[in-house]
Amino acid sequence: MRFDADWMSRADDRILEHLSDAGPDTPKEMADSGRVRFSRQHINSRCKTLVTYGLLVHLGNGVYDITRQGEQYLAGELDARDLEAE
């Protein structure tokens, strides 16, 4: 069971799942994949928030990847309510 936080949105799980399965990607590619059914702008905004909470890392040139904490969240091993923005 996943424990999400008040600051999270519906898009966050889809973004994390996509990056866990597909590897590093850009918001545009995530939107184009059809798996993350949100606009590129919304995905980009959510990625920045997920970086702030340590669930994603920005690799540069608009590319994001999931972190170990992000994988732990997906596995239900991490309670996102315990995360603090950096």
Q: Is a pLDDT exceeding 90 seen at residue 1?
A: no
Please report how many Cα atoms fall inside a 13 Å half-sphere around the Cα of residue 22, on the Cβ side: 18
Cβ–Cβ < 8 Å for 22, 15:
no
For the stretch 22-79, pLDDT in tens is 999 999 999 999 889 999 999 999 999 999 999 999 999 999 999 999 999 999 999 9
CATH 1.10.10.10, applies to 8-75: yes
Domain ranges of the chain: 8-75
pLDDT of amino acid 85: 95
Beta strand ranges found along the chain (DSSP E):
56-60, 63-66
Give phi and psi for 85, each to the nearest 5. -65, 140
3-state DSSP call for residue 30? helix
Q: At what angle do helices 40-52 and 10-22 cross, to 10 degrees?
A: 80
**Confidence (pTM):** 0.95
